[in-house]
Structure 1
Amino acid sequence: MPNTPISRGKLSWGCCDGGSAHDVFLRCTNCKKVYHKSCLALPENIDMTESSYGWKCPLCTSKAPKTGKDDNTPVRNITVRGNKKQPCSPPCKSSDTPVTTEEVKEIVQTVIQKEMESLYNKMSKSILDTLNKQLKDVSEELSKVKESIEFMNAEFEECKMESIAMKKSYKELQDENCKVKSAVQELTIRVNQLEQSARSSNAEIQCVPERKTENVLNIVKDICKVINCNISDDKIVNCTRIAKINRSSPRPRSIIVQFTTPFIRDQFLASAIKFNKIDVSNKLNSTHLGIPGNKIPIYILEHLSPANKALHAAARIKAKENNFKYVWVRNGRIYMRKDDNSKYHLIKNMSLLEKLV
């Protein structure tokens, strides 16, 4: 006989506290408690409408005496669950077929593969994000470096062009300098020749002691008498003492005698050389002129230009260093000879003098 219609306002649940008035349930005819089909673990194909009449819950069935009478209530030993929230979905169906090792392995491999793929995707995304960020920074830095290199390259090209122009200018200046040096050297030689040519009629008398009351013309006349050189007064244009180049030198100032012609000058020089050769031990000196005091040698030579005079002094020093026997001047030119059997050398400039050994 069907149960009395159930009032769904207040229900007394015997299986769990998670039910509601709209759930599908069975009501015990004895204790009046209601039970979910899922909590009773009843088969899916059972008709809740037909089996609900005269149904007793497992707790009441266990307390009733066993009569062996078969009724519509399935006899199953179930465990009454405590207060539990009803699951959102029905539990998985159980299977009587046992799970094999291969199936377990396949399931594990599938799970692991999915986890690995998920991890790989996450790591790939993280790595790509990091690389993109780093590459962006590197790209910006490279752009700055590129701009800097382009700027430096432009500056380098400009400096290179300036350097080429400066080298070209330097080469032109160097060539011009060589030409100027050559021209200056040539002009120096020509000036020296002109200066020496202007002195072609002059003779220089060195080391004649100075006196306050001296007459230079009379000194020249006395020298002419001593060396037996007959030169009249009208052949002497001028005679005077010249300033010393080195003022600290103790030597007296030289006397410059200007004759009318180079021939008269050469005659005067030849007479002095001849006089000195006659008596080598008593060459021309201050006693021959009647000058009191110590015996001081007197030298008569050509009046040289400043350049030739410096070259002549250097030649005399070189002769002492390398044991050259002869150094002499002829017509403004300086000559040197090692000994009586060697050839003479014409000393034109300092470079030729330095090459002599």
Structure 2
Amino acid sequence: MALQLTQQDKCQSDTNIPSSVDRESVAFNNNSRKRKQHDNELDFLNERFDRQLTEWDKQIQDCMTSTANAIAQILIKFSKITQKKLNDIEKSLQFVSERQEVLDNRLLSVEAAVSRVGVLENKINGLEYKLSTMEQQARHCNIEISNMPERRGENLLSTVEMLGNLIKCPIRSMDVVEIHRVPHADQKNSRPKNIIIKLTSRILRDNILSAYRACAKKGLDSSQLSIAGTPRTIYLNEHLTLSNKILFRQSREAAKKHEFKFVWVKHGVILVRKSETSPIFAIRCSDDISKIK
């Protein structure tokens, strides 16, 4: 006989199951579902992260490849440019080297020419000195009278004879080879033109100059020669060349600056002495002026 269950029996449960077991079973089921859900999420995240890493790795590889290619292209271009620059520099250095060689050769030629010029200059200076010495020697019988007043129709020979009588050293007409006035180098010079007297001997010239120096200490002017007008002091000196006159003037200026007492000319040579007890030295060229100090 079959048992018939009522509708109520179908819905009824075992009332003998403890409530605590029921709760534990529910909690276990819930926890199981949560762990499964959590594991699924981790797997999903891991899978997604792996895909992302793979994608990043691919991007990095692509970037590294493109960067390497770009660097390779840059290096190739740089190598070509560098090689071109090096070639240009090599050509420039070769040109500079060739130019330097040309300049060195020219410099050697110039130095050789300069050395020859130096030798020639020394020879020229020597010749100029000899010529100046010869010009001065040609005047060794001459006397130069300066500051003598000029007169129209003057008789220079008669004036010179009077001058010889005044200084007590007679000058005869037969002793005079030539006498004349010479123009000044500076045309603006208003002083009387100098008188040049060429005598028959240097001994006579030296005697006249010695007599003049002795008389000049007392004073010698144009009024003593019966020359009308304002009296002028008359000077007698050896007849110097133009270069020696300039050198004489420079020597006097230097002597005045450095307080030298004596500067004079003897036989065409400029002599200098600082004091009565100092040594005498000669000034023969402009370089010798440095001795006056």
- Give the TM-score taking structure 2 as reference length: 0.78
* Paired position in structure 2 for 1:85: none
Q: How does 1:79-158 map to 2 (within 5 A)?
A: 114-115=54-55, 117-158=57-98
Pick aligned residue for 1:222 from 154, 162, 171:
162
Is the contact between residue 255 and residue 292 of structure 2 (CA under 8 Å) also seen in structure 1?
no
Aligned mates of 1:322, 1:119 — CA distance in 2: 97
Aligned mates of 1:324, 1:132 — CA distance in 2: 89
Q: What is the CA-CA distance between 1:100 and the residue it aligns to?
A: 9.9
Aligned mates of 2:107, 2:149 — CA distance in 1: 61
Pick aligned residue for 1:241 from 160, 172, 181:
181
Q: What is the CA-CA distance between 1:177 and the residue it aligns to?
A: 2.8
Give the secondary-structure state (helix, strand or coil) at the position aligned to 2:153: coil
Verify: 1:272 aligned to 2:212, yes or no.
yes
Aligned mates of 2:280, 2:186 — CA distance in 1: 31
* Paired position in structure 2 for 1:318: 254
* Paired position in structure 1 for 2:201: 261
The letter for the 2-side match of 1:175 is S
* Paired position in structure 2 for 1:180: 120
* Paired position in structure 2 for 1:195: 135
Aligned mates of 2:279, 2:231 — CA distance in 1: 35
Verify: 1:286 aligned to 2:226, yes or no.
no
Q: What is the CA-CA distance between 1:103 and the residue it aligns to?
A: 8.8
* Uncovered stretches (5+) of structure 2, i.e. residues with no partner: 1-38
Q: What is the CA-CA distance between 1:182 and the residue it aligns to?
A: 1.5
The letter for the 2-side match of 1:339 is S
Aligned mates of 2:171, 2:233 — CA distance in 1: 23
Aligned mates of 2:260, 2:70 — CA distance in 1: 93
Is the contact between residue 165 and residue 171 of structure 2 (CA under 8 Å) also seen in structure 1?
no
Is the contact between residue 161 and residue 170 of structure 2 (CA under 8 Å) also seen in structure 1?
no
Verify: 1:350 aligned to 2:286, yes or no.
yes
Higher-RCO chain (CA-CA 8 Å, sequence separation at least 6): 2
Q: Could you give the per-residue CA deviations for residues 156-189 of structure 1, whole angstroms, max 9, x where no partner exists?
A: 1122112312332332233223223222221221
Give the secondary-structure state (helix, strand or coil) at the position aligned to 2:245: helix
**Structure with a larger share of its residues in helix:** 2
Q: Could you give the per-residue CA deviations for residues 13-66 of structure 1, whole angstroms, max 9, x where no partner exists?
A: xxxxxxxxxxxxxxxxxxxxxxxxxxxxxxxxxxxxxxxxxxxxxxxxxxxxxx
Aligned mates of 1:151, 1:202 — CA distance in 2: 74
Work out the number of aligned pairs and report it. Answer: 255
- Give the TM-score taking structure 1 as reference length: 0.65
The letter for the 2-side match of 1:231 is I
Pick aligned residue for 1:295 from 218, 228, 231:
231
Is the contact between residue 261 and residue 274 of structure 2 (CA under 8 Å) also seen in structure 1?
yes
Q: CA RMSD in A?
A: 2.4
* Paired position in structure 2 for 1:79: none
Give the secondary-structure state (helix, strand or coil) at the position aligned to 2:192: coil
Verify: 1:335 aligned to 2:280, yes or no.
no
Q: What is the CA-CA distance between 1:352 and the residue it aligns to?
A: 1.8
Q: What is the CA-CA distance between 1:305 and the residue it aligns to?
A: 1.1
Higher mean Cα deviation, 182-191 or 237-246? 182-191
Aligned mates of 1:245, 1:306 — CA distance in 2: 9
